Copies of this chain bind each other. A is one copy, B any other.
Amino acid sequence: MSMNEQAINNIMEGVIKGVIEQLKTEAPRVSVSTGACEPIPVELSARHVHLSEQDALELFGKPLTPVRELSQPGQYLCEERVRLIGPKGVMDNVAVLGPARSASQVEISNTEARTLGIKAPVRQSGDVAGTPGIILASQTGIVGLEEGVIVAARHIHMSPEDSDKFGVKDNDRVSVRLESDRPVILEDVVCRVHPEFKLAMHIDPDEGNSAGWNKSVTGKIVR
C-alpha cells in the first residue's frame, strides 16, 4: 500500500467513524426512559358512583360515611349504596365513592351500559358534559341525573416522580401491555399525574375480562 493509499484509508476510516457516531446519537433515541419497563399495578375499577353533596343529601338525608380507604390517597368507599335505574334495566347495591364531588357521576362498563339501556361514552372521570343521564335511588330518596354516565377511559395514576421515571407528562397517552395468560396491549391509556396519586392503572371489568386480569397482573408501558 502506497503512502497515498494509506492516507486515503485513514481519512475514510475517520469519515466513516464520524458518520456512524452521528447516526448513533441521532437514531435510536427512545422516547421513554429506563423506568418504562417497571411493572405498574393494575386495579379493576368496578361500577361505582360519585355524588355531589346535594345529591348525597337528597338520597341519604346526610353526608357520605367513609368505610374503607381506596388505593388513591383521600378516596374512600362509602357505607351508602345506590340503585341505578336505566330505561332497560336496574342495578342494585352499587358502590358510592367519596369524597363528594362538584357533580355526580356514574362509572359503568360497556356491558353494564347495555344492561341498563344507556349509551355511555368512554370518557375521562369528570368529563361528563353531554353524557347520558340516569336515575339514582336509595331506600328513601331518588335523584334524576341529567348527565353523568360514562365508561371510564383507562388511565394510570402516577406521581410526578413516576412520570419522570416513565418519561411521560400529564395527559400523555401510552400503550400498556397487560402481562397475563390472555395478554393484550391497551392503547390510548391516559397518564394522570398528580402529587397525591399513587402508581396504579385503572381498567374496567370488560378490559379486565378480555385481558385475563387477576390481582397479580401488572402492566408495562410499551410506548
User: When the two chains form their complex, are residues A187 and B183 in contact, meaning their CB atoms are under 8 A apart?
Assistant: yes
Distance between A203 CB and nearest chain B CB, rounded to angstroms: 8
A139 to B181, CA, bound (A): 38
B16 with A109: CB separation less than 8 A = no
Q: Closest B-chain residue to A13, C-beta based?
A: B15
Closest beta carbon of chain B to A135's beta carbon, Å: 23
The yes or no answer to A119 lying at the interface (CB within 8 A) is no
CB-CB < 8 A to A187: which residues of B?
A: 177, 183-185
Interface residue A11 (Cβ < 8 Å from any Cβ of B): yes
Q: Which residue of B lies closest to A110 (CB)?
A: B209
A residues 114-130 touching B (CB-CB < 8 Å): 122
Assuming the A-B contacts A13-B19, A110-B209, are A7 and B7 also in contact, with contact meaning beta carbons closer than 8 angstroms in the complex? no
A33 on interface, CB distance cutoff 8 Å: no
> In the complex the two chains form, is B122's CB within 8 Å of A212's CB?
yes
Binary contact track A160-199/B, C-beta < 8 Å → 1, others 0: 0000000000000001010001111111100000000000
Given known A110-B209, A209-B206, contact A9–B11 (CB-CB < 8 A): yes
- Residue in chain B with minimal CB distance to A186: B184
- Please state if B182 and A122 are interface contacts (CB–CB under 8 Å): yes
- Whether the Cβ atoms of B11 and A12 lie closer than 8 Å is yes
CA distance A187 to B181 in the complex (A): 10
Partner of A11, one of B8, B188, B210, B211: B8
Q: Does the CB pair A185–B188 fall under 8 Å?
A: no
> Do B212 and A210 touch across chains, with their CB atoms under 8 A apart?
no
* Bound-state Cα–Cα, A215 to B126, Å: 29
Verify if A107 is at the interface (C-beta below 8 Å from B): no
Contacts of A8 in B (CB 8 A): 8, 11
Query: 19 other contacts beyond A20-B23, A111-B206, with CB at 8 A cut-off?
Result: A5-B7, A8-B8, A8-B11, A9-B15, A12-B12, A16-B16, A17-B19, A19-B20, A110-B210, A111-B205, A122-B181, A183-B188, A185-B185, A186-B210, A203-B210, A204-B210, A206-B206, A206-B209, A206-B210
- Min CB distance, A171 to chain B, in Å? 17
| Chain B, Cβ-Cβ closest to A18 | B13
